[in-house]
Structure 1
């Protein structure tokens, strides 16, 4: 399981996760559009915005902050940006500069809450079997937080506890395990699944994290998890331990998704969901072909015993 920073646009209101009413140039969902489209974009001002294309009211502080925001984030051509950088360097006499938003009253510029533009889904969480076959996916709206990840897991395996994986590899499996135990020590996920950090990210986890080292090691060499480590012999007949499963299938799938980022980011929520499901089907077909080509498909005897 892994998160891929990718998503469609959603309502500009901070706590809203609804899709836009107008994906062409809109900022709000259908519920917030009639309430906020004619109000100042600085929250929680609530005053009517100025006529025309202005996004703020007639408060000079708000209109000035809007201008600063537009100057900071509006699209400019590459030659124009080079000219701006050159002029700023000459004026400031510095090697570089940072375009920062000014404070609004006592509020730092980076902390000002506004609805000047639509927000975006933070990432999609994808889940695959160890062979690479995709299982499901979900959206994380604000961050890849453990509560949202657990919610996606619950939705994918809703009513199918018997089909849950014995092991789940995730780059932040230790924090996910902490969250599950903290929220509900009797959660059924603790009985059905063990949580391990994928091999690539495990090397960067703190060696002082006892929970991570004890419960989330992807390849313990002390025999604690014989299903994760197997003994193989090389060409010289020497025995050595190796990982039994590929814990990076989600990372590999997300790398494959990178080729479709551009169209996905500009889709409506409905088209985004449909296209993601279609990509899952295409990738599943590709995985099935690889398995057949390597003659690693499960035989009829296996399925008879399932």
Structure 2
């Protein structure tokens, strides 16, 4: 120990005597404020933690002269040449690092790695590590600023790395890996899931098994069991009534013959469903929704790219394509037209916005002269699957997923989400509901959706109504009901979101305005998904450029964080209300 301390003093130039013991110089006083810790990235355990191992003490994996030096981002500071130590068990050959442990898989020759949930540092590059403060800041920046990894990287370099005077430069890949490694720990925290993956996986390969393992098919685990006074009300069998109010004929326009929910004393819960037009590109082959082999210029997944080979990308053509093009000699004219229409980047944005305006078919969009006014919720259109997979007769470009469908509680908590290809069909919506609520006892009392009447028709026609009728009623959200009720008798009589004739006492409550006057208001916020979509729209530019696997992972992380923060805000309001009531009692 004495020799090590002597070596340590010489390294820091704190040795006052020479080898013969003669005083060389007096050491100047050192302020405690200037003393900085020696940073070493090292495992947090001293002995093997493998259950099959007797618990041998770890040995240093590398000799001192071979210990690697890394750059460490610690908060807003950047440190270079930080030693990185690793431990090895002499009995089972398990390796121990600061952020993960790896061991041999007994079933095959590959090695598995357990990512430590409480790791202090994360490895984001070959010789780059960050502490958890940095990784959390990157996740929060992506969430709060609707920022891409490139934007976050530039911000961090300009704000913290460059002022430190180091030669190091944070890259987009470092930022993305920090986002992924921090996110898998956030997703695993509520359930305590073990983060077990193949060792030394590239980050582009890690996101797919991470979403499959932690994504739960798009169900947000942080929303499980959530209940608050905004999304859950006590059951009422008699409607609230404002006394001495004259009859209002408009209130009877939505006469509901469905008589709300069955007589059930349990609490009344509602969910809201809606979709937002966005999504990544997927394979152009009909029926295939796998991600592209080449996310930049490809149009097929790996399997279909191997199948197509050098074939012409016109449908049903088996000729060989001309070099430098995607078409054979006979279809060069079609390829030329495609390039003229879509290759010009200056026109692409305008054309995309025009196509998007037609695809969304929103009621508030202006209808051009001579254009046909779109019918609302055309059931036939929703149920028909386009077998061709595209309205085009070629595979020159990869299609996008049509929309992201979300299920929310009226308070804003996100329950689940899923990508839909081709269209927002009612058959897909029903499948999503059945996957999220396989147990009838867990189903909500009301489902509010913009195409509620179309969904109700589909459920009845397909014979699913007996399974849903005892527990659930389907209504149209308040915004879309304004247009639906005018021409749709079924929508008026079965899907009214707030009938004022007392047929649905759990959908309407009486409240007081600022002047103390009584008025009717909806018991639930049926616009929760519209509000969520307005927030999600800020990520559309970033998410649409991602691969399918990156899109799935990022979308799930964003909605998971959003749900956590909505619940945290609710708890904060409840605590403030409790403190105010205690203060009033003390007075």
1:65 and 2:344 aligned: no
155, 171, 178: which is aligned to 2:435? Answer: 155
Secondary structure at 1:150's aligned position in 2? helix
19, 23, 26: which is aligned to 2:295? Answer: 23
Cα distance in 1 for residues equivalent to 2:484 and 2:573: 34
1:256 and 2:528 aligned: no
Question: How far apart are residue 16 of structure 1 and its match?
Answer: 2.0
Q: Counterparts of 1:186-201 in structure 2 under 5 Å?
A: 186-201=465-480
Cα distance in 1 for residues equivalent to 2:533 and 2:392: 33
1:122 and 2:122 aligned: no
Cα distance in 2 for residues equivalent to 1:246 and 1:185: 27
Cα distance in 1 for residues equivalent to 2:575 and 2:337: 60
Secondary structure at 2:574's aligned position in 1? coil
Q: Match for residue 486 of structure 2?
A: 207
Question: How far apart are residue 112 of structure 1 and its match?
Answer: 4.1
Q: Match for residue 460 of structure 2?
A: 181
In the alignment, is the contact (CA less than 8 A) between 2:476 and 2:497 conserved in 1?
A: yes
Q: Match for residue 5 of structure 1?
A: 277
1:75 and 2:347 aligned: no
Structure having the higher Rg? 2
Q: Counterparts of 1:280-295 in structure 2 under 5 Å?
A: 280-295=559-574
Q: Match for residue 498 of structure 2?
A: 219
Cα distance in 1 for residues equivalent to 2:575 and 2:448: 22
Secondary structure at 1:122's aligned position in 2? strand
Cα distance in 2 for residues equivalent to 1:167 and 1:111: 36
In the alignment, is the contact (CA less than 8 A) between 1:10 and 1:18 conserved in 2?
A: yes
Q: Counterparts of 1:226-241 in structure 2 under 5 Å?
A: 226-241=505-520
Secondary structure at 2:419's aligned position in 1? strand
In the alignment, is the contact (CA less than 8 A) between 1:124 and 1:138 conserved in 2?
A: yes
In the alignment, is the contact (CA less than 8 A) between 1:165 and 1:192 conserved in 2?
A: yes
Secondary structure at 1:155's aligned position in 2? helix
1:187 and 1:17, CA in 2 relative to 1: closer, same or farther beyond 3 A? farther
In the alignment, is the contact (CA less than 8 A) between 1:230 and 1:241 conserved in 2?
A: yes
CA deviations 1:164-191 (Å, max 9, x no partner) are 1110110000000000000015442233
Secondary structure at 1:195's aligned position in 2? strand
Q: Match for residue 270 of structure 1?
A: 549
Q: Aligned-pair RMSD on alpha carbons?
A: 2.2
Question: More displaced, 114-123 or 23-32?
Answer: 23-32
Cα distance in 2 for residues equivalent to 1:191 and 1:205: 25
In the alignment, is the contact (CA less than 8 A) between 1:28 and 1:37 conserved in 2?
A: no
Question: How far apart are residue 196 of structure 1 and its match?
Answer: 0.8
Question: More displaced, 21-30 or 208-217?
Answer: 21-30
Q: Comparing both chains, which one has the higher relative contact order based on Cα–Cα distances under 8 Å and sequence gaps of 6 or more?
A: 1
1:2 and 1:296, CA in 2 relative to 1: closer, same or farther beyond 3 A? farther
In the alignment, is the contact (CA less than 8 A) between 1:10 and 1:120 conserved in 2?
A: yes
The alignment's TM-score, normalised by the length of structure 2, stands at 0.43
Cα distance in 1 for residues equivalent to 2:339 and 2:511: 61
Question: How far apart are residue 219 of structure 1 and its match?
Answer: 0.6
CA deviations 1:216-242 (Å, max 9, x no partner) are 111100111111101112344432211
Cα distance in 1 for residues equivalent to 2:436 and 2:344: 39
1:249 and 1:67, CA in 2 relative to 1: closer, same or farther beyond 3 A? same
Q: Match for residue 55 of structure 1?
A: 326
Q: Match for residue 393 of structure 2?
A: 113
Cα distance in 2 for residues equivalent to 1:111 and 1:270: 26
Secondary structure at 2:410's aligned position in 1? coil
Secondary structure at 2:562's aligned position in 1? helix
Cα distance in 2 for residues equivalent to 1:223 and 1:281: 38
In the alignment, is the contact (CA less than 8 A) between 2:453 and 2:495 conserved in 1?
A: yes
Cα distance in 2 for residues equivalent to 1:156 and 1:138: 11
Question: How far apart are residue 274 of structure 1 and its match?
Answer: 1.0
Cα distance in 2 for residues equivalent to 1:57 and 1:33: 17
